[in-house]
Structure 1
């Protein structure tokens, strides 16, 4: 993928959002930085893909049909294999209740949408141990 062999090329990032636009935006931004990106459009698809994909970090939308972000995060964190995988909640709502609920579900961070390239990269740098 990254001909220069950047340190990012081994890092797998999962982006889970029911909005195709959000998924595509994040995927494009992150692939440009050399990350391997796995996308899912809801919590069930994310749970199915996390086992095979084994992402280093998960960006997870809160408001999704079927299985919301809080429920998905709780399931990820209840699995011993993925308990240490950082989960970053994404939401257009910026309320204290939403942030607290995200923490209770086990998330490491909360990013308000619309996010920037720097928001995503800062979260990855903060939560994924990159060897340079």
Structure 2
């Protein structure tokens, strides 16, 4: 078995972070949690996640700006970011795409939905 991929989940809701952590860790992934964009950016370089799930509505630094900052960083420009949105609207998807997100996952998400997003945007093989 290869080393488990690290997945970062950025959300200001402890309930959402905990649900995502359970879904992902039960599926064999390493999970890195951040409660806002600044926390995530501080942890990014040390852990180098294969995929980032990022809530849109967060205090201090919203998900769009967090995603854009991740994508602008030369070390992480290829890291897929999947936006987490409580509103599954066209505007959120379009604005997320403009910020550089790979996809948008509606909240509340299911285990299967989250794992499908991971499979769609990562690969187990090394670069």
* Interval of TM-score (by shorter of Structure 1 and Structure 2): over 0.9
Structure 2: runs of 5+ lacking an equivalent: none
User: Does 1:86 find its partner at 2:80?
Assistant: yes
Match of residue 43 from structure 1: 37
Q: What is the distance in 1 between the residues matched to 2:27 and 2:94?
A: 31
1:52 to 46, 58, 68: 46
Structure 1: runs of 5+ lacking an equivalent: none
Match of residue 11 from structure 2: 17
Q: What is the distance in 2 between the residues matched to 1:111 and 1:18?
A: 16
TM-score, structure 2 normalization: 0.95
Match of residue 129 from structure 1: 123
User: Does 1:67 find its partner at 2:61?
Assistant: yes
Matched positions, count: 125
Offset at residue 72 of structure 1 (A): 0.1
2:71 to 74, 77, 83: 77
TM-score, structure 1 normalization: 0.92
Q: What is the distance in 2 between the residues matched to 1:65 and 1:51?
A: 22
